[in-house]
C-alpha cells in the first residue's frame, strides 16, 4: 500500500512538474502522432490540447521540415540512424497562427508498455535569439566604430600591457597590432614619460590617486620610426570579467597644433601691423601738428616780409618755409607707404571724364610749371573717354609725374600730356624733353628713397618716395606704370589702365 | 551766386595754443573776420550765446570733448542746430573726410592750412551753405 502511495505521490509530483515548467513537453508515438502535451506546449504553439492530440507532430513545423519529419522518423525506425534523438538542436517551430519561431528541441526515446515513444522538450528561444542578434549587431557596430574612427583606441591591462589596439592606433604610431600586443604601453612614449608611466600606474593601483585617468590631456607620443608628436590622451578605467583594465583614446594633434601655431603667428603679425599702422598714423598726426604752426607762421611772416624785411631775412625765411613744405611731403608720403604696405589704401572709384581730369591736372599743377619755367600741354585726348578711378589718388600720380617732369626739364621747355587707347589699355603719357634717366638708375626708378644723381645743378627736392607710391596706386587700379627714357632726349611715363575694366566699371 | 548774409563771426575751437594763435591771425588780420578762439569744447559752448557765431571751426582731436562730440552738442541746441561746422584736422585721408561729412560737417580743412587763404576757404564754405 505504501508502495502504491509512493507511486501516486511520484506521479502527482511529475504531473505538477510537467504542468508548470516553461519548457514544452510533447510525447509522440513511433508513427509521429501526438499523445500528450503539457500546458507550456499549448502556450508556445497556440493550440489547445484537443487540437493536437492524435495529430502528426509535423503540424508544429513549417515546410520543408514538415515533410522531412516523416521521412526522418521512418528512416530512424528502419536504420537506427539518429539525426536528432539525444541531441539538442535549434529548429524552427510553427504556431497555430502560421507564424514561425526559433525553437530549441531535445528528443529522447523511451519504451512504454512495449511501445516505442519519443519525448520532445521544446523551448521558444525567440527572445534569446533576438537578444543574441541585438548583441551581435551591437558588437559589429562597436567594431565598425573602432575600426573606422580616426582616434586611436588602446586597451591595456592593469599591468600596463597592451591588449587591443584599433587600426587608427596602428596608423598613429606606425606599428602593426602584432608588434604591440602584450607589450608595455610605455613603448609608445618617449623618455622621460616612458619611465614615469609605470610609476604612475603602480601609484594609481596602490593609492587610487588619479593623475590622468578621467582627465584628457596633451602628452607626447613616440612613433615606431622614433619621431615624437603631440598627442591628446583620454584614459578611462573599466572592469572586464573581474579584471581591471584601462582604455586610452589617443588623437594625433600635430596638425591641430600646427594650425594653432600658424593662427597665433598670423594674429601676431596682424597685431604688429596694427601697432605699426597706429604708430605711423599717430606720428604723422603728431608731426603735422607742430608743422601746422611752423608753416602757417612762416607764411604769415613771408606775406609781411616780402613787403618789409631785408633780402637776407627773406631768403632765410623762404629756406625755412621750403623745408617745412618738404617735411610735410615726407610725412604724407610715409603715411601713404604705410598704407600701401599694410594693404590698407582704400580707393574711392568714380567714373571720370578723362579729358577734364587731365585739364584739371594741368591747372592744379601750374605752380610746378611756374617754379621750373616749363609749360604743361595737353597734346591729345579723345573727347568721350571715361575711366574708372579714384580721382584723388590718380591725381596724386599725375602730380608726381608732372612735378618730376618739370623738375627734370630744361627751362622754357614743354611737357606733353597725351591720352588715348592703346591696345587693350587706356594710356596716359607724360613726356618731358629733359636729360633722360641715367641707364644705371633705370632699374631702381620705382624703389623707395631713390633719386637720380644728376650733374644738373638745378635744385632737386622731394622725398624719393613719389614714384614708388605712384606705381602702387596705379597697380591698385589694376593698371601699370612704366617709362621709356632716352639719354639726351627725354623721358615718357605711361599710366596704362585696362580698357575692359574701365568699360565695365568692375573695379572694386 | 548771391550770398544773402555776409560771414562775420567765426568761433574756432583748438587745443593747440600755437595753432590757435596763427589761425586767429590768419582769420582776423588776413581775413578780416570777427574771430573768437578757445581751447576746449566746454569753453566754446559757454561762449555761444554771447558771441552768436555764424560758423564754427572745430579741431577734431582734442582732450576732453573732441570735435565730433562738440558737433553733437551743437546739433541739440535749437539756436545752433543749423550753424555750419567745419572740421580742421591733421587726419586727411579721403575716407576720413567722408566720415566727417557724414557726421554733418559742412566741410573739412586739412592741416597744415595756408594762413593766407584760410579765411577765403572758410568764406567759400559759407557761400556753399547759403549761396
Which chain A residues are within 8 Å of B93, Cβ to Cβ? 335, 346
Q: Looking at the complex, report in whole angstroms how far the Cα of residue A314 sits from the nearest Cα belonging to chain B.
A: 17
Q: Is residue A284 less than 8 Å (CB to CB) from chain B?
A: yes
Average pLDDT of the residues in A116-131: 89
Contacts of B19 in chain A (CB under 8 A): 289, 292-293, 296
Burial category of B92 from C-beta neighbours within 10 Å (exposed 0-12, middle 13-18, buried 19 and up): middle
Decide if B95 and A346 are in contact by the 8 Å CB cutoff: yes
The values of phi and psi at residue A367, to 5°, are -60, -40
Which of A406, A419, A431, A405 shows the shortest CA–CA distance to A479? A419
Nearest residue to B56 (alpha-carbon basis) of B78, B29, B35, B86 = B86
Inter-chain CB proximity A293 and B90 less than 8 Å? no
Please say whether the beta carbons of A240 and A159 come within 8 A: no
A285 interface with B at CB cutoff 8 Å: yes
Residue A500 to residue A424: CA distance in whole angstroms: 7
SS (H, E, C) A242-289: CEEEEEEEEEECHHHHHHHHHHHHHHHHHHHHHHHHHHHHHHHHHHHH
Q: Which of A285, A297, A348 is the closest to B91 by Cβ?
A: A285
Q: What is the tally of helices (H) and strands (E) in chain B?
A: 5, 5
Residue A508 reports pLDDT greater than 60: no
Asked if A296 lies within 8 A of B114 by C-beta distance, the reply is yes
Q: Band the pLDDT of A328: cuts 50, 70, 90.
A: confident
**Cβ–Cβ below 8 Å for A293 and B16:** yes
> Are the beta carbons of A33 and A58 closer than 8 angstroms?
no
Work out the average pLDDT over A460-481.
Answer: 87
pLDDT higher for A450 or A10?
A10
Report the distance separating Cα A421 and Cα A498, nearest Å.
10
Q: Which residues of A touch B61 (CB under 8 A)?
A: 285
When pLDDT is cut at 50, 70 and 90, the band that residue A306 belongs to is low
**Angle of helix B67-75 relative to helix B41-51, nearest 10 degrees?**
40
Structure confidence by residue, pLDDT tens digits, A373-426: 999 999 999 988 999 999 989 999 999 999 999 999 999 999 999 999 988 899
Residue B16 phi/psi, 5° resolution? -85, 110
**Per-residue CA distances from A217 to A173, A194, A213 (Å):** 18, 16, 10
Out of A223-237, A312-326, A408-422, give the one with best mean pLDDT: A408-422
Residue A218 has a CB neighbour count (10 Å cut-off) of: 11
Mean pLDDT across A221-241: 88
Res A21: pLDDT: 86
A positions 330-349 inside 8 Å of B (CB): 335, 346, 348
How far, in Å, CA of A41 to CA of A98, rounded? 15
Q: A307 in contact with B at a CB cutoff of 8 Å? A: no
Does position A160 have pLDDT exceeding 90, yes or no?
no
CATH class given for the domain over B9-130:
alpha beta
Q: Decide if pLDDT at A456 tops 70.
A: no
Q: Does B30 touch chain A (CB under 8 A)?
A: yes
Confidence of residue A431 (pLDDT cuts 50, 70, 90): very high
Q: Which residue has the higher pLDDT, B36 or A12?
A: B36
Note whether B115 contacts A290, CB cutoff 8 Å: no
Subunit contact B115:A299, Cβ cutoff 8 A: yes
CA distance B19 to chain A (A): 5
Q: Is B91 on the interface with A (CB under 8 A)?
A: yes
**Max mean pLDDT range (A147-151, A460-464, B112-116):** B112-116
When pLDDT is averaged across residues A129-154 and rounded to a whole number, the result is: 89
Nearest CA in chain A to B26: A300
Partner A contacted by B16 (CB < 8 A): yes
Q: Which of B22, B90, B111 sits opposite A300 (nearest CB)?
A: B22
User: What is residue A85's three-state secondary structure?
Assistant: strand
A440 pLDDT tier (thresholds 50, 70, 90): confident
* C-beta contacts of A325-330 below 8 A and 24+ residues apart: A325/A295, A326/A461, A326/A462, A326/A463, A327/A287, A327/A291, A328/A288, A328/A291, A328/A295, A328/B112, A329/A462, A329/A463, A330/A463, A330/A465
- State the Cα–Cα distance between residues A271 and A264, nearest whole angstrom: 10
For residue A186, how many other CB atoms are within 10 A of its CB?
20
pLDDT (tens digit per residue) in A336-368: 888 887 777 888 899 999 999 999 999 999 989
pLDDT band per the 50, 70, 90 thresholds, residue A506: very low
B23–chain A Cβ distance below 8 A for any pair: yes
Per CB-CB distance under 8 Å, the chain A contacts of B57 are: none
CA angle A337, A343, A348 (to 5 degrees): 95
CB contact under 8 A, A297 and B111: no
Q: How far apart are CA A186 and CA A189, in angstroms?
A: 5
The partner residue sitting opposite A292, judged by closest CB among B94, B95, B112, is B112
- How many residue pairs bridge chain A and chain B with CB atoms within 8 Å of each other? 59
A277-293: average pLDDT: 82
- pLDDT of res. B80: 94
CB contact under 8 A, A292 and B30: no
Q: Does position B94 have pLDDT exceeding 70, yes or no?
A: no
Say if B25 is an interface residue toward chain A (CB within 8 Å): yes
Write down the pLDDT at residue A471: 95
Q: Look at residue A207 and tell me whether its pLDDT is greater than 90.
A: no
Quick check: A452 pLDDT over 80?
A: no
> How do beta strands A386-389 and A350-353 pair?
antiparallel
Q: What cell does A292 get?
A: 601746422
More confident residue, A212 or A35: A35
Flag the least confident range among A118-127, A234-243, A280-289, A452-461: A452-461
Mean pLDDT of A118-138: 90
Question: Does pLDDT of A212 surpass 80?
Answer: no
How far apart are the CA of B79 and the nearest CA of chain A, in angstroms?
32
More reliable by pLDDT, A311 or A252? A252
What is the least distance, in Å, from the CA of A360 to any CA of chain B?
19
pLDDT higher than threshold 80 for residue B65: yes
H-type alpha helices, A80-192: 126-148, 167-173, 177-180
Q: Are A402 and A376 in contact (CB under 8 A)?
A: yes
Query: Are B35 and B7 within 8 A, CB to CB?
Result: no
Nearest to A123 by CA among A236, A6, A26: A26
Q: Does A392 contact chain B (CB < 8 Å)? A: yes
Q: Name every residue whose Cβ is closer than 8 Å to that of residue A426 and which is 6 or more positions away in sequence.
A: A354, A385, A387, A419, A420, A496, A497, A498, A499, A502
On whether the pTM is more than 0.95, the answer is no
Give residue B95's pLDDT: 67
State the cell numbers at A211.
Answer: 593623475
Q: Is the ipTM of this complex over 0.85?
A: no
Q: Across residues A297-301, what is the average pLDDT?
A: 89
Residues of chain B in contact with residue A301, where contact means CB-CB under 8 angstroms, are: none
**A328 in contact with chain B, both atoms CB, cutoff 8 A:** yes
C-alpha cell at A40: 507550456
Q: Which helix (H) or strand (E) holds A59?
A: none
Residues of A in contact with B18 (CB under 8 A): 290, 293, 297
Burial group, residue A383, by CB count within 10 angstroms (0-12, 13-18, 19+): exposed
Closest chain A C-alpha to B78 CA, distance in angstroms = 33
Closest residue to A328, CB basis, from B23, B93, B112: B112
Q: Is A291 on the interface with B (CB under 8 A)?
A: yes
- Count H helices, E strands: chain A? 16, 17
Q: Count CB-CB contacts under 10 A for residue A433.
A: 18
DSSP for A18-57? Answer: HHH-SSEEEEEETTSBEEEE-HHHHHHH---HHHHTTSBG
Kindly list the residues from chain A whose CB atom is less than 8 angstroms away from the CB atom of residue B113. Answer: 292, 296
Tell me if chain B has a CB within 8 Å of the CB of A293.
yes
Mean pLDDT of chain A: 86
Whether residue A257 has pLDDT greater than 60: yes
Amino acid at each position: 500500500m505504501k508502495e502504491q502511495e509512493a507511486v501516486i505521490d511520484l506521479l502527482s509530483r511529475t504531473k505538477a512538474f510537467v504542468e508548470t515548467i516553461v519548457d514544452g513537453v510533447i510525447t509522440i508515438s513511433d508513427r509521429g502522432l501526438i499523445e500528450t502535451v503539457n500546458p507550456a506546449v499549448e502556450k508556445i504553439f497556440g493550440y489547445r490540447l484537443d487540437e493536437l492530440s492524435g495529430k502528426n507532430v509535423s503540424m508544429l513545423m513549417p515546410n520543408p521540415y514538415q515533410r522531412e519529419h516523416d521521412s526522418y522518423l521512418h528512416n530512424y525506425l528502419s536504420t537506427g540512424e539518429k539525426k536528432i534523438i539525444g541531441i539538442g538542436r535549434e529548429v524552427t517551430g510553427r504556431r497555430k497562427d502560421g507564424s514561425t519561431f526559433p525553437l530549441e528541441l531535445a528528443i529522447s526515446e523511451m519504451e512504454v508498455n512495449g511501445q516505442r515513444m519519443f519525448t520532445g522538450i521544446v523551448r521558444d528561444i525567440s527572445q534569446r535569439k533576438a537578444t543574441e542578434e541585438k548583441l551581435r549587431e551591437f558588437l559589429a557596430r562597436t567594431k565598425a566604430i573602432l575600426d573606422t574612427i580616426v582616434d586611436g583606441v588602446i586597451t591595456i591591462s592593469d599591468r600596463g600591457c597592451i591588449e587591443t589596439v584599433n587600426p587608427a592606433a596602428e596608423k598613429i604610431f606606425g606599428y602593426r597590432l602584432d608588434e604591440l600586443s602584450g607589450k608595455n604601453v610605455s613603448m609608445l612614449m618617449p623618455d622621460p614619460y616612458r619611465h614615469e608611466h609605470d610609476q604612475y600606474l603602480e601609484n594609481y593601483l596602490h593609492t587610487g590617486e588619479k593623475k590622468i585617468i578621467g582627465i584628457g590631456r596633451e602628452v607626447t607620443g613616440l612613433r615606431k620610426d622614433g619621431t615624437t608628436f603631440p598627442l591628446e590622451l583620454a584614459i578611462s578605467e573599466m572592469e572586464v570579467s573581474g579584471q581591471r583594465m584601462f582604455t586610452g583614446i589617443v588623437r594625433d594633434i600635430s596638425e591641430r597644433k600646427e594650425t594653432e601655431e600658424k593662427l597665433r603667428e598670423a594674429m601676431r603679425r596682424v597685431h604688429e601691423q596694427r601697432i605699426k599702422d597706429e604708430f605711423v598714423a599717430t606720428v604723422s598726426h603728431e608731426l603735422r601738428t607742430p608743422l601746422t604752426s611752423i608753416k602757417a607762421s612762416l607764411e604769415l611772416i613771408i606775406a609781411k616780409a616780402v613787403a618789409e624785411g631785408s633780402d637776407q631775412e627773406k631768403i632765410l625765411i623762404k629756406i625755412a618755409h621750403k623745408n617745412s613744405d618738404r617735411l610735410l611731403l615726407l610725412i604724407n608720403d610715409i603715411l601713404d607707404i604705410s598704407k600701401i604696405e599694410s594693404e590698407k589704401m582704400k580707393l574711392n572709384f568714380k567714373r571720370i571724364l578723362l579729358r577734364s581730369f587731365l585739364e584739371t591736372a594741368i591747372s592744379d599743377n601750374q605752380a610746378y610749371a611756374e617754379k621750373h619755367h616749363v609749360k604743361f600741354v595737353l597734346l591729345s585726348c579723345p573727347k568721350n573717354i571715361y575711366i574708372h578711378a579714384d580721382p584723388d589718388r590718380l591725381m596724386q600720380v599725375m602730380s608726381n609725374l608732372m612735378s618730376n617732369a618739370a623738375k627734370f626739364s630744361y627751362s622754357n621747355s614743354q611737357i606733353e600730356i597725351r591720352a588715348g587707347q592703346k591696345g587693350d589699355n587706356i594710356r596716359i603719357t607724360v613726356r618731358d624733353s629733359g636729360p633722360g634717366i641715367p641707364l644705371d638708375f633705370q632699374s631702381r626708378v620705382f624703389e623707395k628713397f631713390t633719386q637720380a644723381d644728376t650733374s644738373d645743378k638745378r635744385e632737386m627736392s622731394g622725398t624719393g618716395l613719389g614714384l614708388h607710391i605712384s606705381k602702387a596706386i596705379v597697380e591698385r587700379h589694376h593698371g601699370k606704370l612704366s617709362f621709356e627714357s632716352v639719354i639726351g632726349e627725354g623721358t615718357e611715363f605711361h599710366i596704362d589702365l585696362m580698357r575692359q575694366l574701365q568699360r565695365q566699371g568692375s573695379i572694386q | 551766386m548771391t550770398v544773402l548774409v555776409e560771414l562775420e563771426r567765426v568761433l574756432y575751437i583748438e587745443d593747440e595754443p600755437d595753432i590757435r594763435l596763427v589761425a586767429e591771425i590768419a582769420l582776423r588780420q588776413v581775413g578780416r573776420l570777427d574771430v573768437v578762439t578757445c581751447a576746449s569744447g566746454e569753453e566754446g559752448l559757454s561762449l555761444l550765446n554771447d558771441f552768436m557765431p555764424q560758423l564754427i571751426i572745430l579741431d577734431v582731436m582734442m582732450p576732453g570733448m573732441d570735435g565730433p562730440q562738440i558737433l553733437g552738442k551743437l546739433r541739440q541746441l535749437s539756436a545752433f542746430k543749423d550753424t555750419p561746422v567745419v572740421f580742421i584736422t591733421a587726419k586727411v585721408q579721403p575716407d576720413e573726410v567722408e566720415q566727417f561729412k557724414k557726421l554733418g560737417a559742412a566741410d573739412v580743412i586739412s592741416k597744415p592750412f595756408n594762413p593766407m587763404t584760410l579765411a577765403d576757404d572758410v568764406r567759400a564754405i559759407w557761400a556753399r551753405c547759403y549761396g
